[in-house]
Structure 1
Amino acid sequence: MHYVPVSQTERRISKLKHKNKQKTMFIIVGALLFCLIAMLVLIVLDVNNYVKINSIFQIWQPQTTVAMVQTQRDVISSKHKQIDEQLFHLKSIFQEKAYKEATNLKLPIIDKNEYQYFTLSNGLKVLVIQDQEAKIAQAALCVNAGSWSEPDEYPGLAHFLEHMLFQGSKSYPQEGYFQKLVAEGGGSTNAYTRGEETNYYMKINNERVVEALQVFAHFFIDPLLDSSMVEREVNAVNSEYEIAVSGDLWKISHLFQILSNKPIGRFTIGSLKTLKDPMKELVKFHSQFYSANIMSLVVKSNYPDMAKWIREQSDFSQIPNLNLKKRSKLHLPLKKTGLMVKYKTNGDKNQLIIAYQLDSPRTTKKSKTLPMIASLIKSKHKEGLLDYLVRQKMALNVDAGTFLEGNGDFTFFLIEIELIEGVDELKVAETVTGYFNNMLDQFFQEVDKNEINYTPYLEEIWQQYKQLQLSQYNYLDNNHYPTVQQIAHNLNYFDYTDAMSIEFLYEEFQPESIYNYLTEMLNPSNIVIFHGSPKFTNLKQSSELYRLEYEIMTLSREQIKKLSSAVTTKVVLFDWVKSKQLPLLLPKINTFIPKDFSIKSLCREQTSFIQAPLVFKSKEDCIQHEKEYETINHYPLMIKRTVETKAWWKLQRQFQVPQIFTGVMFNTPKSINSLKDKLLIQVFNTLVTDNLNQEIQEAIDAGYQFQFTPSIKGVSLELYGWSDNYQSFFEKVLQSISNLKYDSFSQVKQKLMIYYNNIYQDKLFRVAMSEYLNQVVQAQYYTAELFLEELNILDLESLQQFHSNYFSNFRVSSFVSGNILRSEVEDLLHSIRKVFHKSSSHTSEEPHVFNIRDLTNKNVVVPLIHKGGDSNDVNGVTINYYQIGHRNKKNFAIMNLIQQFFHNHAFQYLRTERQLGYVALMRFIPIGCIDGAAIIVQGTAQMPYVVNQHIEDFLKQFHNVLLSLADDQLDNIKNGAKSALQEKDKSLYDESAYIWGQIRGNNLQLEEKEIAIAMIDEIVQKDIIEFYEKYFIKQQNKLSLQIYGKGLSEQFNQVKDNLLEKESIIELKTLNEFKCAYTLNNL
């Protein structure tokens, strides 16, 4: 194949379009005839009561539909594809309509919600989602105006306005009124600002949603924008800025801003320096851009007649309509391409990002061209790009996707590569370019010099992705369902009929866009290569604003020539002889493609859960009793209990998904407590994960998932996927564990070294919670530094010995839930015995002990200097941790009752009123088996030791709030807490993972939520005050963890010296320890 220069692209695309127009005419005529016939058929069927469709729009899918990627090439004939697409659109015409305004929404087949779309008189677009099962209501309002609309003199103004709108309105001027309302309703709020939009979010108990929405509406009608609140809220924005510039996460985004023209090149967060005297511009920006005709509102609740209330009684129609028109087209933002950009990072990661600047009209959104290319790039299958780069010792990982996508004018396509140190960046870029060349070669074929044609293979691979997404969308669980914020965003950019489905479905095959994008990526002048490393020194450029050290270099002619030569060179990623010279991207036959989506029934296995056979008058009678049985018996059933094996099973059909969850715990008789054992478990988990990513890539492509979790008892394995082919998937995973391959041992060690070296590079408050707090409170918590020392001396023989010993003597606890019968569960258990040649063992089991430091009647202060971040990091974090102790039912109920109320008041006092930092959280958290409470503040306004005292002041203030709590307030708080506990699990996976966590931890407190709900009704104000006073006022089993950024090292040394003089820092190793026993014999 020869490279088609970019200059010829338009001519070739024009030819392709002309040819496709002819094809389209035939398809349209055929479709019309088909629709006419189908109408008659459906009318006849409807008359005879054979067709009954309940939801607004259900995506049609026959049982034989190919649902996943990498199927056989001859499965989908062109005729079947044509019929599939016609039926897809036909269903929207004949669907029964719940609401006239939303007849064409494309919804998953398991979606039980009702939808109503309408536009208010002021132009505000509204989508109401009636969810009868929702206990908590949610709402989002998206304004199609953001940072790219603000004046050059006030960068960050749009983001600052987002903060200010939460401070009140002229109709509701009382300070903290909205926050108090939300707190009493057990809810929360959030918002984000992007280049072209600002998106506001709230959730609250359904009983108070109308009141909250009315206050919410006035954010956009008559915001207070009080000058007295400006100064303190600027501090919150500045704290957010300090968090962003102190870590590595935002560095690439900031480099794109440096390289781009305005408005994309504008600084968007805001800071004390950029937001001086912003009051006048703040009012102007709101009045100029906050127009109802560029807003969308989405409300999801079970409140009856919500749509009618919004239309007739709410104040949303009072939002001014300025009749703003769509902005003009944005030009490609980068000032220049063909660049190499080196920048210094804080962490140990050697990161290479290859970026391409592309046109991105919204007309290509339904084709999913770039997501498809990204999936092919980052696939971990054998002989893929990642496999080649790993085997050539060039990289450890590859990812791909779009950046700043969705504005309708441009996007950046990024390929992120975790580079091995010392590898030439250009050599990797050449490999990627050659890979694109392979795609072009297999997707398109030359007919003559003036015309290109796409190959059948391209259409088939696109159709396979289409079917993959269709199946996944049809059975979409609530974890992956579009949020109300995402839907509100979509309503501003796309037709309302696509608001739910636009991010998921492949709907329009556009070979010309695929060709155009690939040729743009093959143009070496269109590339920007970013290389980040902590070892770069003497870089020639810097940014004080972004705290960046970097250097921008134009690619030389020689470098451009090398990239150009890669365009005409096919990258051979595997042995062409052994593979019979198969084309590089040709998918193999995927044996994991599910074809059976049916839901299992106990009526087909009537002796599955009791010993005596069940007798029913009819199958319908059986099904009715089956549903009653499931309603009453919603806990898992223990189906096997021996010394070696304990197994639970639950046929779970509530979510109506043909999927299965399995948890398997390989319990070792000996506790895994030593540093070496813990490291070996981690190395084993990583190695087997890498092996599985190659060996069962087809299953992963088909939607199956696996995860390993280490614990003191051994290895926990979680598997999730389609019920069809699940047995085969399960066995392949077990076989990979049993027959472990050690080829990538050195790469795994290198991955873990990078992981441990970067463990302190996350946001400071997250590192403080996940690392520093555990290091202090847990008696046997090993630091990253200790793991690195052990990793350096770990050899392959130790791992092999560990693997051999571990899987020759283990016991199994398991839980299987979902679309699976008891006999099938027993087949899975048999597979474990078969794969591991498992026989009975009578080795006694030691108690597994988890040690937590006892803080009873202690007031411990621990100051630390942060090990991550850059040398200029002036962030500080204070965590005040209050140890409660072993859980009991009453305490658990009280914690659930006051959690959100407590947090909202902490946020209001510590962040909004005192402006101590952007992060202000209160959480009840378990560490091991011990409950506790943590109040976390991250900011730059005060030193951590000062924040400690502010937290104590807040606790006294909140004590007064609890003492003055009125009965109706307590009732509201109770209703909010109960609603949160009554919220159903979002998915089969969520429910199953929760139950598995209880079984794995040997707790089996499966009814703890129901008990808490019952106890909440019995709790009175006195109970809350006694609990609060015991743990937060009188006893205070307290640890104050005070962490200083590296830019505060001088202050840290002064504070540490002062503390040592004034109060004794207790040596934690001398404290008593709780012993939390996890012994399986306790069952």
Structure 2
Amino acid sequence: MARTSSFTVKNPLANRRYFSLARLCFGLVVLLGLAACQWTETTADFNLVKPLTEQRDFRYLQLDNGLKVLLVSMPGADKAAASLDVYVGSGDDPKDFQGLAHFLEHMLFLGTEKYPEAGEYQRFITANGGSHNAYTSFEHTNYFFDIAPDALEPALDRFAQFFVAPRFNAEYVQREVNAVDSEFRAKLRDERRREFDVFKSQLNPQHPFAKFSVGNLQTLRADDEAALRQALLDFYAQHYSANIMSLTVAGSQSLGELERMVRERFAQVENRQFVDQPVTLPLFSPEQNGQATLPRWVNIKPLKQLRSLSVQFPVADPQPFWQTKPLSYIGNLLGHEGAGSLLSTLKERGWVESLSAGQSLQYKGGAMFGIDIDLTEAGLNHVDDIITLLYADIALTKTQGVAQWRFDEQSRLARQQFLFRAQPSLINEVMQLSGDLQDYPAELVLEAPYRMSDYDAAIINNFLSSLTPENSYITLTAPEVETGLRNDRYKVDYGLRKIPASLEARWQRALANAGVEKNLALPKANPFIAADMAIKGGDTAKPKLLERDAGFELWLHNDGEFNLPKGQLNLLLESILVADNPRDRALSKLWLAMVEDELNELTYTASLAGLNFNLSSSWRGIELTVSGYNEKQQVLLAEILKVLRSPNWDEARFDRLKKQRYRQLENQRARPPYQQLMSELPSVMRRNRPDLEQRLMATDNASLNEVKEHVGKVLPSLRYRMLVDGNFNEQDARQLAATVKAAIPQVVTAVQAQEVSPRPQQEVLQLARGDYLRKRKMKHDDASLLYYVQAPNIGKQWRVTMGLAAQMMSADFYHQLRTEKQLGYIVSAGVYPVRELGGLIFLVQSPVMDSAGLQAEVQQWLVAWLEKGVLESEFNEHKQTLIKRLREQPENQWAAADRHWQELLDGYENFDSREQLVSALKEMTYDSFIGHIQTALNPDIRRGVYVYGNGRWPEKKPAGKSVGNLSEFKRGLGAYIFH
């Protein structure tokens, strides 16, 4: 597939969901004759190119200190948000303090002159229903938050002080450098970071990208706190300059009010006149020890069962050609997955599982373009042949692929994506906009990532000319590779393969002789591009029931709020036989994997045109979602259901997909400890959910004949529930329902269904009093602990009690255990509901303390929190914040459709689950909350489960009753039952 950059996302053309309004234009004129529509709108201060009926008001300004500002006014919005981007990153780190930009990002959150308390910012954001974070990349450091609209101004007041007067307290230097080191250690077994560190070791050592960007105790010289703090102060004073900052603020206030808020606070940011220079050094040294450093072949031995091949090429910086987007154009051809594509050709030979192509790195001065391939075991023996086929495909692209009509089709799709843009979550949007303000003209900041307006064959061919064997950096990752070298920082075994001259000559011949591989073909014109953009009208009322009989249920929501030519179809094929036991679950997963693989050529082409699908299985049955432009959904739906009912039962395909599924499960053992704990908890708490070992065994034992027999049993047992949501009318909904019934006609009567397959149910264990222990064996040095506390009873009062408590607890738990006690980088507390059953979770992953110690720290914190108590004013503040959060409306059409569907699945046919929770909150008094939470957390009657990993302290064990045999444990407890 075509992909966006791993490091700098500039091109959204591979994204799958887009949203905006489209009443103004109809049919093909929208796509081919945009002059017929007025799609450039004048805002208060500047001409901003916007999607067709973008309703928000925008203002751009530049403060006297040079800081660029984009303001977004959204009257009536449920959220406000802000993001400030500093055009400085790890590439600017001093060589003797590598990771300093990242360390500075951490330190900025620990107090300013105006707000000196270290945890105050986080507590304020959390108490007002918001979230916050930051990231450091090679060229950017971005800080962002979202919050309740009426709290935006005080939040900005705190936020601005990061860039005006941070304290950088000496007392937190050692603590936070420990946190950075903990973050580094937490990802020592992360395959991407391991491979990335080997990549950096192969670069020109003088290039800034070769530096270690994360930082640890050694590279930050933690043994000399005074020197580290001085380097921090110097770095901030040099680089944190208003003239390289860009800010986006979005709120419900008017543009004038937003401007006042910003000017009063951010005009104080100092302009240090910093001038950023592009990198002129080559990414790879021209030669090393008298030999050219490219081409280069690196073998890497992974920790997981991974087999992948990556061929990367250093290329020129594409940013000056952003209106041509040459790397996106090339990536869309080489990464295509349709008939005749490189991927399909390699799949037919049984050598690969997936392929992606596109820009993998970009910085001011250069970039890299690459092709990443997931190999099968058989493919590992044919990597030289695979690369030969790659060069044949590059040759085909050079000779036949650079064409005006192909560019026009990509441009048309890109423009369509922009005009009907899916508005992302607000916090993600302000992050994107603040970064894009650094690279694009302000009036094009919304449109620029989508714009492909300038076809220039010479530019595209110039980038293609860099895709040659002599300019390649190849990485082969597999357990079987020969190594001989070792990366000390991440303990990676790797090696260098000398590329034989005969092999390089073979690649050169493939590149020079287009058409040598007869099976390869360039993509044809896309038949799924929508032309009918008519809006069918609707209202904002809840979905309504159109049909209900013994085996079929049809609902319709004709959206009248977002008014897009798009929609989402959700279909549940309900049957207890889909996942009643580990064997059935494994067979269902393999069935759907075969369906998706067979459909890939078709559905990939549809996805490029903004029409997507998802197929999954769960305890309820099989869920199918089709989303995007509504015009051709019926065509895609029919094709999916045809293959679902009767896949091509190919033995070779089954064997490949079974191995792939088994490997995916096996690799879960190598995930970070905290992720393993989070995935283990549902296996402990849900009666019929198998654990990892059971899933592995069931997958390993499955055969193709068993899958076929399983499908034959499941299909006649199905009940159907369907929701058609978006730009659909009743006739559309009934036509889509008819498509389902025609494709899978075995709809049975209620009596027959009950005899063949009773209704699926989810059983969640009802814990007895006390704490249980479930150990997870892991290959990781960090200890980890997850503590789940279950509400004593089921019901909405208990659910909102736990939700309210989690909101109050999260900031302090994080500050005390992470910042003050430095237990680790991964520290969190939150709510964990299952339907009407409330719960809390406390999670810590630590490189410095064993699991028994972590248990003691969590328990001590809980005791202290209970002893400290909750003021009535604090209770009232958090109660109102949670009510506001529950009343927040979906931010886009997809979020609305997903919410409707989940409500329907959970049995809320009035679509009012949130209203019911709000009612429960309103009824809750201060005294009832205190009574409930003291009962839930009382050590003598608390109901909890610890899931833990020992790390490098195998002899340590938390206190509690060991679960032992998981199946016996589950049989010994009662359960809450949900349908």
User: TM-score under structure 1 normalisation?
Assistant: 0.82
* 2:670 is aligned with 1:761: yes
- 2:4 is aligned to none
Among 389, 394, 402, the alignment partner of 1:436 is 394
Q: After the TM superposition, which residues 659-698 of structure 1 pair with which residues of structure 2 at under 5 Å, given as runs?
A: 659-668=566-575, 670=577, 672-698=579-605
Corresponding residue to 1:341 among 298, 305, 317: 298
1:1055 alignment partner, one of 947, 953, 956: 956
Q: Distance in 1 between matches of 2:22 and 2:683?
A: 51
- Tell me the SS of whatever aligns to 1:750: helix
**Partner amino acid for 1:931?**
G
Q: Is the 8 A contact 2:312 2:472 kept in 1?
A: yes
Matched, 1:985 2:890: yes
How far apart are 1:948 and its partner, in Å? 1.2
Q: Which of 486, 496, 500 matches 2:432?
A: 486
Q: Does 1:922 align with 2:829?
A: yes
Listed one character per residue, the Cα deviations across residues 906-949 of structure 1 (whole Å, up to 9, x for unaligned) are 21122111111111111212357643211111121211221111
Matched, 1:638 2:545: yes
Picking from 1030, 1053, 1057, the partner of 2:935 is: 1030
Matched position secondary structure for 1:483: helix
Query: Which digits, 9 at most, give the CA deviation of each residue in 1:369-399, with x for residues without a partner?
Result: 2122222222221221111001112111111
* CA deviation map 1:336-367 (0-9, x unaligned): 32010011111111011111111114212221
Q: 1:263 aligns with which of 189, 208, 211?
A: 208
| Aligned equivalent of 1:524 | 469
Partner of 1:375: 332
Question: Which deviates more, 636-645 or 660-669?
Answer: 660-669
Kindly report which structure 2 residues correspond to 1:157-172, keeping only aligned pairs within 5 A, or say none.
157-172=100-115
In 2, the alpha carbon distance for the partners of 1:508 and 1:886 equals: 63
Q: 1 CA distance for matches of 2:965 and 2:347? A: 46
* Closer/same/farther in 2, CA of residues 306 and 342 from structure 1, 3 Å limit: farther
What pairs with 1:618-637 in structure 2 (closer than 5 Å)? 630-631=539-540, 634-637=541-544
Aligned to 2:346: 389
Comparing 379-388 and 854-863, the one that deviates more: 854-863
Describe the shift of the 1:875–1:954 C-alpha distance in structure 2 as closer, same or farther (beyond 3 A): same
Question: What residue identity is the alignment partner of 1:752?
Answer: R
How far apart are residue 752 of structure 1 and its match? 0.9
Which digits, 9 at most, give the CA deviation of each residue in 1:60-112, with x for residues without a partner? 96621475xxxxxxxxxxxx6xx75x789x854xx4x3311x32x22212421
Question: Which residue number corresponds to residue 9 of structure 1?
Answer: none
Report how far residue 669 of structure 1 moved: 5.8
Q: Distance in 1 between matches of 2:496 and 2:615?
A: 42
The counterpart of 1:738, out of the listed 634, 641, 645, is 645
Residue identity over aligned pairs, in percent, reads 21
- Per the TM alignment, residue 492 of structure 1 is displaced from its structure 2 partner at its CA by 1.6
Is residue 787 of structure 2 the alignment partner of residue 787 of structure 1? no
SS in 1 for 2:192: coil
How many angstroms apart in 2 are the aligned matches of 1:788 and 1:860? 25
Cα distance in structure 2, aligned partners of 1:468 and 1:885: 53
Contact 1:338 1:554 in 2 (8 A): no
CA contact (8 A) 2:771 2:961 kept: no
Report 1:270-669 matches (<5 A).
270-275=215-220, 276=222, 277=225, 278-305=228-255, 309-310=259-260, 314-335=264-285, 336-405=293-362, 407-421=363-377, 422-443=380-401, 458-479=403-424, 483-521=429-467, 523-536=468-481, 539-570=483-514, 584-588=521-525, 590-601=526-537, 630-631=539-540, 634-668=541-575
Give distance in 1, aligned partners of 2:170 and 2:730: 66
Q: Counterpart in 2 of 1:863?
A: 775
Farther-moved stretch of structure 1 (233-242 vs 969-978)? 969-978
SS, match of residue 477 in structure 1: coil
Contact 1:136 1:979 survives alignment (8 Å): no
| 2:125 equivalent in structure 1 | 182
Distance 1:847 1:697, change over 3 A: closer
Task: Identify if the C-alpha distance between structure 1 residues 373 and 952 changes in structure 2 by more than 3 Å, giving closer, same or farther.
Answer: same
Question: Residues of 2 paired with 1:61 and 1:519: CA distance?
Answer: 41
Aligned partners of 1:885 and 1:930 also within 8 Å: no
Check the 8 A contact 2:792/2:936 in 1, yes or no.
Answer: no
Q: Distance in 1 between matches of 2:869 and 2:149?
A: 24
Task: Tell me how far 1:153 sits from its aligned partner.
Answer: 0.7
Among candidates 806, 813, 827, match of residue 899 of structure 1? 806
SS at match of 2:570: strand
Which residues in structure 2 correspond to 1:135-174 (within 5 Å)? 135-174=78-117
Q: Is the 2:376–2:656 Cα contact (8 Å) retained in structure 1?
A: no
Runs of at least 5 residues in structure 2 that lack an aligned partner in the other structure: 1-19, 286-292
Partners of 2:677 and 2:776 within 8 A in 1: no
- Post-superposition CA distance 1:219-275 (Å, at most 9, x none): 111110111111111111011101222221212321221122331100111111222
Q: C-alpha distance in 1, partners of 2:150/2:73?
A: 14
The answer to whether the aligner puts 1:1009 opposite 2:918 as a matched pair is no
Is the 1:189–1:202 Cα contact (8 Å) retained in structure 2?
Answer: yes
The CA distance in 1 between the partners of 2:557 and 2:108, in whole Å, is 48
Question: Using the alignment, how far apart are the partners of 1:957 and 1:437 within structure 2?
Answer: 68
- Kindly indicate whether the alpha-carbon contact (under 8 Å) linking 1:343 and 1:531 is maintained by their aligned counterparts in 2: yes
- Give 1:711's aligned amino acid: S
- From the superposition, tell whether residues 713 and 178 of structure 1 become closer, same or farther in structure 2 (CA, over 3 Å): closer
Higher mean C-alpha displacement, 664-673 vs 988-997 = 664-673
Deviation at 1:571, TM superposition (A): 5.3
C-alpha RMSD of matched pairs (Å): 2.6
Distance in structure 1 (CA, Å) of the matches to 2:811 and 2:283: 41
- For residues 384 and 984 of structure 1, the distance between their equivalents in structure 2, rounded to whole angstroms, comes to 42
Say if 1:432 and 1:360 are closer, same or farther in 2 by CA, change over 3 A.
same
Q: Deviations over 1:483-525 (max 9, x none)?
A: 211111111222212322222222322222210111111x211
Conserved? CA contact 1:639–1:647, under 8 Å: yes
Contact 1:849 1:1076 in 2 (8 A): no
Contact 1:310 1:316 (8 Å CA) reproduced: no
Residues 413-447 of structure 1, C-alpha deviation per residue, up to 9 Å, x if partnerless? Answer: 12111112232322211111110100111035xxx
Q: Which amino acid aligns with 2:772?
A: V
Which residue, 961, 970, 973 being the options, matches 1:1073? 973
Equivalent residue, structure 1, for 2:137: 194
Change (3 A) 1:59 1:155: farther
Q: Which has the larger radius of gyration?
A: 1
1:888 and 1:315 map into 2 onto residues whose CA distance is 46
Match status 1:209 vs 2:159: no
Distance 2:574 2:628 in 1: 24
**CA distance in structure 2 between the partners assigned to 1:370 and 1:687 by the alignment:** 32
Question: Could you tell me which amino acid in structure 2 is paired with residue 795 of structure 1?
Answer: S
Does structure 1 retain, via aligned residues, the 8 Å contact 2:437–2:445? yes
Deviations 1:753-799 (A, max 9, x none): 221221223332112201x2233223333233333333333222212
Shift of 1:853: 3.1
| Count of paired positions | 934
Residue identity matched to 1:855: L
CA distance in 2, matches of 1:731, 1:570: 37
One of 719, 723, 728 as aligned partner of 2:626: 719
**CA displacement at 1:1044 relative to structure 2:** 2.9
Change (3 A) 1:875 1:316: same
What does residue 37 of structure 1 align with? none
Q: Is the 8 A contact 1:98 1:115 kept in 2?
A: yes
